[in-house]
A and B are shown apart, each in its own frame.
Chain A
Amino acid sequence: MSGLPNRKLRNAGIAGALGLGAALALAPEALPQERRSGFEFMSRESQVLQQDDTSNPGMLWVAEGEALWSARTGASGRTCADCHGDAAVSMKGVAARYPVYFAEQSRPIDLQGRINICREVNQNATPLPYESRELLALAAFIGKQSRGMPITAGDDQRLEPFRALGQELYERRQGQLNFSCANCHDDHWGRKLASSVIPQSHPTGYPLYRLEWQSVGSLQRRFRNCMVGVRAEPYPFGSPEYVNLELFLMTRARGMPLETPAIRP
Chain B
Amino acid sequence: MARALINVPSKAKRGEIIEIKALVSHPMETGYRTGPDGGLVPRDIISRFLCTYNGEEIFSADLFPAIAANPFLSFTTVATESGRIAFRWIDDKGQAHLETAEIVVE
Interface residues of A (CB under 8 A from B): 54-57, 59-61, 63-64, 67, 133, 211, 214-215
Question: Given A55-B21, A55-B23, A67-B2, A60 and B7 touching (CB < 8 A)?
Answer: no
Q: How far is the CA of A67 from the CA of B2 in the complex (A)?
A: 8
Mark contacts of B32-68 with chain A using CB atoms, 8 A cut-off: 1 yes-contact digit, 0 otherwise.
0000000000000000000000000000000000001
- Of B2, B21, B68, B74, which is within 8 A of A60 by CB? B2
- Is B80 in the interface zone, CB < 8 Å from A? no
Query: Chain B: which residue is nearest A67 at the CB level?
Result: B2
User: In the complex, are the beta carbons of B69 and A63 less than 8 A apart?
Assistant: no
- Chain A hits for B70, CB < 8 A: 57, 60, 214
What is the CB-to-nearest-CB distance from B87 to chain A, in angstroms, rounded to a whole number?
14
Known: A60-B25, A64-B1. 15 other contacts (CB 8 A): A54-B7, A54-B21, A55-B23, A55-B74, A57-B23, A57-B70, A57-B72, A59-B5, A60-B2, A60-B5, A60-B70, A67-B2, A133-B1, A211-B68, A215-B69
Residues in chain B near residue A54, CB distance under 8 A:
5, 7, 21, 23
How far does the Cβ of A265 sit from chain B's closest Cβ, in whole Å?
12
Bound form: Cα–Cα A83–B69 in Å: 35
A63 to chain B: closest residue by CB: B2
A211 to B68, CA, bound (A): 9
Given contacts A54-B23, A55-B23, A59-B23, contact A214 B2 (CB under 8 A): no
A57–B24 Cα distance when bound, in Å, is: 9
Separation in Å of the B20 CB from the closest CB of chain A? 10
CB atoms of B23 and A60 under 8 A apart:
yes
Asked if A214 and B7 make an inter-chain contact with CB atoms under 8 angstroms apart, the answer reads: no
Question: How far is B69's CA from A215's CA once the two chains are assembled, in angstroms?
Answer: 8
